[in-house]
Amino acid sequence: MKLYEKTLESKSIFEGKVIHVKHDTVELENGDTAMREIVEHPGGVCIAALNENEELLFVRQFRYPYKEIVLELPAGKLEKGQTPLENGKRELLEETGAVGREYMTLGKLYPSPGYCGEIIHLYFCKIDHYENQQLDEDEFVNVETIPLKKAVEMVLNNEIPDAKTQVAVLKTAAIVNQTRNLL
């Protein structure tokens, strides 16, 4: 099987501040056609920032689509003209006031590949120092630290439903444990 779909027609449905929604007609590998609804998103970044006590920085914020407060690692959407890492450093500073060092990529995450083209870039860093938070005008967050071991338990106990946070916490724990074993 070729596992390929050819776009025959693409129709813009909605152009928003952050997302763009399209309705596409595609040709399948067997020659049949199908419809695809696509949400285009500029992408995002998520930072697992670890302090000297092996605690991760988290933010709690109200997330409108779920109508609830969500516990997450610092994250945000990508801004044009900056690399994902530059965006991550900016988001970490804006949301928490932390400045990191020794950044390491944790890869990328496709949150919902069936309909959304968003790619979230994941990073790990150690916290170097703190400056002042620089929240956006419409951004309200509570910053807290959680020991890495407890954060892993929270992920495994379904206490952190956010996918990017789950993946970044577990990858960070694996890296920290692997580093300990090498010493």
pLDDT tens-digit profile, the chain (183 residues): 789 999 999 999 999 999 999 999 999 999 999 999 999 999 999 999 999 999 999 999 999 999 999 999 999 999 999 999 999 999 999 999 999 999 999 999 999 999 999 999 999 999 999 999 988 888 899 999 999 999 999 999 999 999 999 999 999 999 999 887 775
Active site includes 137?
Answer: yes
- The CATH code of the domain at 44-182 is 3.90.79.10
* pTM (predicted TM-score): 0.93
Query: Range(s) for CATH 3.90.79.10 in the chain?
Result: 44-182
Structure-token pair, residue 97:
């006031």
Which of these is catalytic: 137, 139, 144, 159?
137
Go through 147-180 and write b for each residue having 16 or more CB atoms within 10 A of its CB, e for each that does not: ebeebbebbeeeebebebbbbbbbbbbeebeeee
